[in-house]
Structure 1
Amino acid sequence: MTNPAHERIEKLVNANDVVLFMKGTALFPQCGFSSRAIAILDHLGLAYETVDVLQDMEIRQGIKEFSDWPTIPQLYIKGEFLGGSDIMMEMFEAGELQSMADEKSLKKAEA
């Protein structure tokens, strides 16, 4: 049996090079972890899409099952689940996120 939430999530993940499932929006994050994740992506200068899980309970629950990861935010790059804000922070500090962005030729945000 197919899960409609999982199908929607899969489409979002596959349609965008960088997508962040978060609480709130890029302009108005609704938790500190989501705010930190946005700050990292903005610092890297990457173009990204966000999905506000607070606006959609089906997605909010579905994303946890989809990734088998219990917390939000969740970052996907080129269809691959990377992790939440703690993992993003570790990868950012180690320079791994920048390297990945370069290797995968991720689009830069428009100025």
Structure 2
Amino acid sequence: MAAFIASSGASAAAAEQAPARTVVRSAPDRELPAGPGTTCGTVTTAAGYPAEVRIRSGSVRCTKALRVFQRYYTALANGEAPGNGGGGPVNVRRWTCQSPSSVETEEQPTCVRGDTTIAAHVQF
């Protein structure tokens, strides 16, 4: 840095006074919606199990799909689901999320908004 300052004719004192500027651009701002069959990533269920979030139909940004499921599982952990110990339905920012009534079925927890469905494949 000193070599650059000396060769550019700027004084060391001026360089020390100049505020540092960092521009950070986050990937979600530029992320395009993904479609059916896309595995977006993993969230943690209310019971502490990992769950892969996948897009089943429609399209949505993966960051959004992950955020919706994490908020759904947080709501379940906080007792915000209707009924006695059920998994929903719970409204999460215009998405309707719910879990099957039994873990012994092939069904997965899903969140639906319009024609878009995202599912969480819980890994027991």
Same fold (TM over 0.5): no
Higher relative strand content? 2
Higher radius of gyration, 1 or 2: 2
Report the TM-score when normalising by structure 2.
0.26
